[in-house]
């Protein structure tokens, strides 16, 4: 028998019903007002615009629930100060988010919907986690077979992959026509499959420095495993 859990939000009005917890797979465009979700913030970053003096325009996050389902959430610029307490790796209860279609060329999850915070959104840290069982890993590892499936390119979103870097290949930083740095390299699976990867911007220098240590004692030896 499925148990229904109710969440207590300290700011709810007297006489109103406590929100009923649902899982992220149950998200629909029009959520009942009594719906809430318990999630872990597994990713958090500032989305910026402008090249010379980048300005934060929103805080972007990826939520994961106990069933390993993930969804993107956005805190718009006008609400950043209100929700600046949010920390990656912590568990929260969320109620009253705005639900939007998950559209765009580059999406960070495969969920059909995404959350956007509003002035009415409740987002409370869950200090008591007794009874909660979140996946031990926050990574969403995709297989090389899934990545190379033609159908995957028709519905692209950001993923995590793990593979071995072949030290026989040469890591060559290059500049695009716009002056941005990038570099291509291949990762191999233990079964022999390989996939072409590209890093951009600051990651180019980070990978280059990792592959070319200044100390001879720190020289890399196979296998070198990358998690992207």
CA distance 132 to 214: 46
pTM: 0.70
Are residues 119 and 178 located together in one domain of the fold?
no
Q: Does residue 121 form part of some domain?
A: yes
Are residues 155 and 221 located together in one domain of the fold?
yes
Answer with the residue of higher pLDDT: 149 or 87. Answer: 87
Question: At residue 121, does pLDDT exceed 60?
Answer: yes
Are residues 33 and 80 located together in one domain of the fold?
yes
Task: Quick: pLDDT tens for 40-93.
Answer: 999 999 888 776 777 888 999 999 999 989 999 999 999 999 999 999 999 999
Answer with the residue of higher pLDDT: 200 or 136. Answer: 200
What total number of domains does the chain contain? 2
CATH number for the domain spanning 48: value is: 2.40.50.140
- pLDDT average, residue stretch 13-21: 61
For 35, the domain range is 20-125
Question: At residue 9, does pLDDT exceed 70?
Answer: no
At residue 34, the pLDDT reads 84
Question: At residue 185, does pLDDT exceed 50?
Answer: yes
Answer with the residue of higher pLDDT: 157 or 193. Answer: 193
Question: At residue 175, does pLDDT exceed 70?
Answer: yes
Long-range contacts, 19-26 (Cβ 8 Å, 24+): 19/93, 19/95, 21/93, 23/65, 23/66, 23/67, 23/69, 24/63, 24/64, 24/65, 24/67, 24/69, 24/70, 24/71, 24/111, 25/67, 25/69
Are residues 43 and 117 located together in one domain of the fold?
yes
Q: Are 83 and 118 in contact (CB under 8 A)?
A: no
Are residues 118 and 42 located together in one domain of the fold?
yes
Are residues 91 and 48 located together in one domain of the fold?
yes
């Amino acid at each position: 028998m499925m148990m229904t859990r109710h969440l207590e939000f300290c700011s709810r009005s007297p006489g109103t019903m406590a929100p009923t917890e649902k899982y992220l797979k149950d998200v629909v465009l029009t959520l009942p007002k009594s719906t809430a979700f318990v999630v872990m913030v597994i990713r958090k970053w500032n989305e910026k615009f402008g090249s010379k003096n980048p300005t934060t325009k929103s805080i972007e996050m990826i939520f994961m629930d106990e069933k390993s389902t993930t969804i993107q959430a956005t805190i718009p610029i006008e609400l950043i100060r209100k929700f600046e307490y949010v920390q990656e790796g912590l568990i929260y209860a969320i109620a009253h988010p705005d639900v939007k279609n998950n559209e765009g060329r580059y999406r960070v999850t495969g969920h059909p919907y995404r959350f956007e915070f509003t002035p009415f959104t409740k987002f409370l840290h869950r200090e008591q986690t007794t009874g909660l069982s979140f996946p031990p890993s926050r990574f969403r590892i995709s297989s090389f077979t899934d990545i190379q499936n033609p159908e995957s390119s028709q519905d692209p979103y950001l993923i995590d992959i793990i593979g071995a870097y072949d030290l026989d290949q040469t890591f060559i930083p290059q500049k695009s026509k716009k002056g941005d740095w990038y570099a291509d390299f291949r990762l191999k699976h233990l079964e022999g499959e390989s996939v072409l990867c590209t890093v951009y911007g600051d990651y180019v220098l980070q990978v280059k420095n990792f592959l070319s240590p200044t100390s001879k004692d720190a020289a890399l030896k196979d296998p070198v495993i990358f998690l992207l």
